[in-house]
Structure 1
Amino acid sequence: MQITDKLTKQIDEMRYITAENAWRYRTILRFFYLQYEKMKYWMYKEELFQELKTHDEFKDYTMETCRQDLDVLISWKNFVAVQDTAKVATVEEFKNKQFRYELSEYSVEIERLTIKLENLFVESASLESSLLERIKEQIEKLTEMVSKSEKEVGVWWGSLNNDFKRLNQNYQDYIRPKCH
């Protein structure tokens, strides 16, 4: 084994997973990742804030806290922020810097890994409750789907179908006779 600088340096982009406010940071990164999967790469803090406020866990969340969370995630290299000057009409608006945020490449891969880890037990021929919980959550979104675009409904439906297929495979693998 060769010990290099790359091996021994801290991976800043993973700090959000274990930080004090990990529950908020992980939610933020997951929302951006889900948008990334829909090929929506850039977002404003207002879009994030609007989404978070729809969840009970974020009922006391403020725009200032949202901005601070994004600043922390930028400092850990989870996001790339670019000042949006397209809508600027005055010097004051320019000074008030509006940013668009994009997930860094590392963050995309970290989110892929965390999703895989969240489902690891599900895919290992066991009847893990996390898959059933995810199916339940997807079914509870059924009424929301009425107001969504065809693309969003398609993504939701595909995910729900994949989970049912995986559940079917898992129960078959689980009850399959074991060779001794």
Structure 2
Amino acid sequence: MSSAALSPAATRPVLADLVPTITASRTLTDALLVGAGTLFVAAFAQLSVTLPFTPVPITLSSFAVLLTGAALGSRRGALSMALYVLAGVLGAPFYADGASGWAFASFGYVLAYLPAAVVAGHLARRGSDRTPWGTVALVAAASATIYVPGVIWLMTYLDVNLTTALALGVTPFLIGDAVKALALGAVLPTAWKVVGRKS
């Protein structure tokens, strides 16, 4: 194993690592954390606003996805979002406004929650969630991970060109992304100060 693999930046804990183990095994604790992350995102997805000029609603689900990914780490975050997507596809009312299934214009964003959680968890594992500016960078990278599949799905589902898809699925949400970055830039570093862990 290389020295880079053993560097402090590669082995920093995420917030979920500080949760006490419920049993002699860590497995049950991790399973509960994964399930809690899924339900957290599902709850925040219901806080939505439908805009008249785009089929993509404004929701707080992406905020919840990034917070979940950063707090759980990439592995647990990915499992949590995989469970979220699967439950919704199978009929659970987990998506915006209690929707489920896959045949709707914004489903590409839902699919992108899994890699976005991985990106957020990966960067948090390297300490990006310890400072406000590091968290803003984390949000920017993970948000871009959501937009790319989201826009591609919009183009295919609505049969529109890239310019139209960007106007429908990116431009209306940039101000909200800035607010989300500022909010997470306050929440995550504050959480680390509260638990008293900086390494």
TM-score by length of 2: 0.25
**Based on CA coordinates, which of the two structures has the bigger radius of gyration?**
1
Q: Larger helix proportion, structure 1 or 2? A: 2
Determine which structure has the larger strand proportion and give its number. Answer: 1
